[in-house]
Amino acid sequence: MDIRRFSLIDLALGEIDKAIKVLSAPARSAREVPAAPEGAALQAAQRTESVRLMRVNHSGEVAAQALYQGQALTSRDSAVSAAMRLAATEEIDHLAWCEQRLRELRGRTSVLNPLWYAGSFAIGALAGTLGRSTGLGFVAETERQVESHLRGHLARLGEADPRSRAILEQMTHEEMQHGAQAASLGGQELPFPVGMAMRLTARLMTLGSYWL
Ligand SMILES: [Fe+2]
Ligand SMILES: [Fe+2]
């Protein structure tokens, strides 16, 4: 009997189970959605724009889950694997907050999320094979890209939608902390193809989830 084969199947089933949970089950946050004043009722055009931006942010958090899980799977450094799994757990709050705000706005999540999950998982799994300092550098780069993307969305939202704004401000603050922590633990600059693949995926995701 081939024990190794069984363990690979177990691993694969475990990963499929996590993917299904992220993609189909409502995310449960450990913390409340960041509080914000209700503000004036949104105009139709603003609501549409808020839905599109929050859909992109939700997809970003789906991708973050996949990136961390992919890296946790392939990293041979148990400390990095544990850090990845913890990061994925903390990011679940972000996923849940975006999902809840989309519901409040009567919007929907992106139909492309399974694609983003698969692509991000593959990139994370590749990064996990590249060693501790690259793995941590990968986290730092992910968080840096997410932070800059969130700042762009905050500028586009303006003051018209305080509830979405409060969520994005809290997420920005936490992504900065995640990034700084990874860098301080020894994260190094990424090999060019990995950074490039991440930027390309992020650009495709932003465009695709905004419309679809
Ligand atoms: Fe996040
Ligand atoms: Fe983060």
Ligand 1 (ion): which residues have CB within 5 A?
91, 94
pTM of the predicted model as reported, rounded to 2 decimal places? 0.85
| Ligand lying nearest the CA atom of residue 176 | 2
User: How close are the terminal C-alpha atoms of the chain, in Å?
Assistant: 46
Which residue has tokens 């903390």?
90
pLDDT tens string 62-119: 998 898 888 888 878 777 777 777 777 778 999 999 999 999 999 999 999 999 999 8
Strand boundaries in 68-206, DSSP class E: none
The rounded Å distance from CA 186 to ligand 2 centre is 17
Lowest mean pLDDT among 12-21, 41-50, 150-159, 166-175: 12-21
Q: What is the DSSP letter of 38?
A: -
Q: Rounded distance, CA 95 to CA 67, Å? A: 14
So what's the pLDDT on residue 54? 95
